[in-house]
Structure 1
Amino acid sequence: MADFRSESSLGARIRTARRARGLRTARDLADAIVGGTLSEAIIENIETGRKVSLDVSQLLNIAMALRVPLSYLLAPLGEPERPLDLPNLSQAFEGMTAIEFDSWLTASKDGSYRPESIEERNATSELQALREWSALTREVARLQTMFELETATMSSADAGDALLRTTEARLVDARRESARLASYLESAGWKL
């Protein structure tokens, strides 16, 4: 079976991903989209290339139904150095490779795309900080739960006392880093 990530167009990537996910027909994909926002005919037109202008919601619904990252449909990431092959893009995308596009789309700090302006660099930095802050917020909640469970199940003379101190130290560090990122983001105008 072909690797949908290397197909030569958006429609071909969708069609091949659909088949790889066990959805035999465009009707199967239409049925897999929760809320039924795309018809079989629209999906067939996308897959054959007759419909090249899609709404963002259509692309997102297809990617979610196929359970693939949006970048996998938008660019031939199976061949990362291949040029971006989406129609109707501005000249700013000319010469951009699939992996550079993915880096740009996801605002990846360590990706192969490099922001060209201070505004773009700031936006990328803020988005990365937001992602890290969100992950740390979840980690703080997890560590807090662990700490509470460990505290409730261990006596002070218990051999697990070292584990409790380790969890507490990790919790303190995660809270400190989360607060630092929140301060940075709030200074940039984000409402957390």
Structure 2
Amino acid sequence: MTNSGSAKAIGSRIQALRRARGMRTSKDLADAIGGTMTVSIIENIELGRKANLDVSQLLNIAMALQVPPSYILAPMNDPSAELDLPGLSSAFDGMTAIEFDAWLASIDAAAYMSRTLPGRNSLVELNALREWHTLNAEIRRLHVMLQLEEEALPPPYDGRTRERLQDAQRSISRLGPLLNAGGWDLPVDVDDDELEANAS
């Protein structure tokens, strides 16, 4: 990351990141965003004349600059520096850049831990949801691998792919109902019949 993370305002961080990405002018950034923001809006943000960004503006700028939003919102080059965003409530008092990044990304890490039970529960649920999503992707990948192995190799097969698939299916069969009980509306893709079929 460039020294954009130590710039002392959103606008100056955006400007530094833009230049680091080889975009010489605000028009270059506007073109990279694709027409949803005008050059004058970007110039006003960079020069500090527009202190507050809409969420869509922030996300469009971050995507065009190919950085996570925290690079724009906090001085990430100085992780222990306190947030410098205007208009935040007192709940953010004393929060450092690295703690803010952990909070924003819902990372279950020592960098930041919510002081409230609902905040901690939300973090646990989001991490369980991420695990559920990752397991679904792994199950799809392992199904393809298993099919390719069965088509390409004569029996008996190695069996390790089938074992990894069963482990992933067992894990997701526990996670899905747990998340659904917490109010998440998730499909439970794996049933006992499928587990038994893959065990054979």
| TM score, norm. by length of structure 1 | 0.93
SS at match of 1:52: coil
Deviations 1:92-147 (A, max 9, x none): 11111000111111111114111111111111100010111111111110111001
Corresponding residue number in structure 1 for 2:124: 125
Alignment partners' CA distance in 1, 2:134 and 2:6? 31
Corresponding residue number in structure 2 for 1:144: 143
The alignment status of 1:77 with 2:76, answered yes or no, reads yes
Structure 1 stretch 43-52 or stretch 104-113: which is displaced more?
A: 104-113
Pairwise CA distance, 1:13: 1.0
Alignment partners' CA distance in 2, 1:102 and 1:47? 22
Pairwise CA distance, 1:2: 4.8
Alignment equivalent of 1:174, drawn from 159, 168, 189: 168
Alignment partners' CA distance in 1, 2:57 and 2:101? 19
Corresponding residue number in structure 2 for 1:67: 66
Corresponding residue number in structure 2 for 1:86: 85
Structure 1 runs (4+) deviating above 3 angstroms are none
Corresponding residue number in structure 1 for 2:45: 46
**Unaligned 5+ residue runs, structure 2?**
187-200
Corresponding residue number in structure 2 for 1:185: 179
| Number of aligned residues | 186
Alignment partners' CA distance in 2, 1:32 and 1:185? 38
Contact 2:2 2:17 in 1 (8 A): no
| TM score, norm. by length of structure 2 | 0.89
* AA in 2 matched with 1:139: E
Q: How well do the aligned residues superpose, as a CA RMSD in angstroms?
A: 1.3
